[in-house]
Chain A
Amino acid sequence: MTSPANLIIRHNVISGAAGGGAGILIDAPVAAVARHGTIEENLISGTINGIVVTGGGAVLRSSLIIQKNQLNQITSGPFPAAISLFNAEPCLVSENTIEGVSGAVGGASGIFGSDVEGCKFVNNVMSDVSGNGIWLTGPAGIPSQDNLLIHNIVRGAGLDGILIGGGGGGARNDIEGNLLHINGVGGVGFGLHFLLGAVGNRIGRNSATGNAGGPAPCAVAGNADYCDENGPIGAVTFSFGDNMMPGPATF
């Protein structure tokens, strides 16, 4: 067993990191070394990327707490979001405030997770991100799975409020009690969107209204707030009810 590197980064104001890195960059060696850490109560403004936790190997897992950070005026690239997580397991991403994320369309999300497993994304609030609010995906064959997305607010995202899938897809994530309003300001975007290959996810008690919708091959035609490219609710995505999204009563 390899010993970890343990990190605490708290109570800092970080601005102007413009060299293509990040406000806070936690990178990991190619070797199987885990990074465990707490990143909390930092204010990150005007940087290229915000918080990036990444790893170089499939065997690496980083356990993380990222909470109560405030990120604003973030320009994404080369990482895709204000908070970008790769190979994180488990993690708690909570109560972060994200405002004003810009970058290439599709590449400037609020929170991005690739191959994250067993994480809670809870009580994060974000507005005016040019990509997706929260996007969970993974490399081919390695989905982001077994995560809980609960009580997040995404408002005014350029694309989808919450997007699950792409690449390795997303599996067995529970998405509950999120408020996903007025997303797709770029012209295309749903409140909640499952891409083809995202399977076994569950939803309930979400509110999604005023989203733009789009031409994606969705099972619920004419619904701008919810899109599941895998089929109708109950096929591979399951609802435990009380979603306030225009659509079939079974939501």
Chain B
Amino acid sequence: MVRSTARLSVLLALMVYLPAFGQEAGSTAIPFPGGAVPPITITVPGGYLLEVPNITAPVTGAPLIIIGAPPAGAPFQHVVIDLNGYALDNTANPGFPVIVYPGGAPAEIVIKNGTIIGGSDGIAVTGGARPTGFT
């Protein structure tokens, strides 16, 4: 009986801590404390982990996640977004990307492990003119 209780305790402990195994050290949860109302704007460099199963944007006329310019004084923008296997849906805003980094260099951007639906682009790293003509 004692052994069974101990096993149960270990199992419960694993269930509590296992979700953290997939999270990068120091990651900030998305949505941010206080809830997520798209667009979600990230300006602070660091790691971000989507912790709710799926975010569907209402009609906002905006991207769902914007990776903005770093705070004043930060040397460059460094953002890792782990979508944790969940989905971002910006179908309601077909004129805007789902995730966008409109800024310039220097920057290091990582986006991984998600399902990205709708929008003008799934993932857009923009900021400049496109060449025209390709004959």
List A residues at the B interface (Cβ < 8 Å). Answer: 2-31, 33-35, 44, 47, 54-56, 79-80, 84, 86-87, 112, 114, 137, 139, 166-167
Nearest Cβ on chain A to B65's Cβ, whole angstroms = 13
Are the C-beta atoms of A30 and B129 separated by less than 8 Å?
yes
Does chain A have a CB within 8 A of B2? no
Instruction: Report B87-107 residues with CB < 8 Å from chain A CB.
Output: 91, 94-98, 101, 104-107
Nearest Cβ on chain B to A46's Cβ, whole angstroms = 10
List B residues at the A interface (Cβ < 8 Å). Answer: 76, 83, 91, 94-98, 101, 104-131, 133-135
Are the C-beta atoms of B128 and A5 separated by less than 8 Å?
no
Q: List 18 A-B contacts (CB under 8 A).
A: A5-B106, A5-B125, A7-B109, A10-B112, A10-B113, A12-B113, A12-B122, A17-B98, A23-B123, A25-B121, A31-B104, A33-B104, A33-B105, A44-B122, A56-B128, A56-B130, A167-B134, A167-B135
Tally inter-chain residue pairs, CB-CB below 8 A. 151
Are the C-beta atoms of B126 and A25 separated by less than 8 Å?
yes
Are the C-beta atoms of A35 and B125 separated by less than 8 Å?
yes
Residues from chain B with a CB closer than 8 A to the CB of A20 are 120
Nearest Cβ on chain B to A231's Cβ, whole angstroms = 22
- Further contacts, 12 of them, CB under 8 A, given A139-B133, A166-B135: A8-B109, A11-B112, A11-B114, A12-B122, A14-B122, A17-B97, A17-B116, A25-B121, A29-B129, A35-B125, A44-B122, A167-B135
